[in-house]
């Protein structure tokens, strides 16, 4: 199934990983990798919930 099959409830999209030069290695808080890890956790939760609503898409 494609996102077009669920126009009002599209499948969550994974966040884009930081590029190799996006981290400045200076210990920023938050670091771009910290923000990415947080976004990935939110994505996983959203995807899990979406798959529960659309079990046929898991196949």
pTM value is: 0.80
Contact 56, 11 (CB under 8 A): no
Domain extent, residue 42, equals 31-58
Handedness of CA 27, 37, 20, 22 (dihedral sign): negative
Residue 3 scores a pLDDT above 70 = no
The total number of structural domains that make up the chain: 1
User: Do the domain assignments include residue 11?
Assistant: no
Question: Is residue 41 a part of any domain in this protein?
Answer: yes
In order of 11, 24, 28, 40, the CA distances from 5 in angstroms are 10, 41, 41, 24
Q: C-alpha distances in angstroms, 3 versus 11, 28, 52, 53?
A: 6, 36, 16, 14
Extended strands (E) in the chain: none
pLDDT at 57: 86
Instruction: Indicate whether 35 belongs to any domain.
Output: yes
Residue 23 within any structural domain of the chain: no
Q: What digits encode the pLDDT tens for the residues 34-50?
A: 999 999 999 999 999 99
Q: So what's the pLDDT on residue 59?
A: 72
């Amino acid at each position: 199934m494609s996102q077009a099959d669920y126009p009002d409830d599209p499948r969550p999209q994974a966040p884009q990983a930081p590029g190799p030069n996006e981290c400045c290695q200076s210990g920023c808080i938050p670091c771009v990798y910290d923000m990415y890890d947080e976004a990935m956790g939110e994505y996983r939760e959203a995807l899990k919930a979406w798959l529960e609503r659309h079990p046929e898409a898991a196949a």
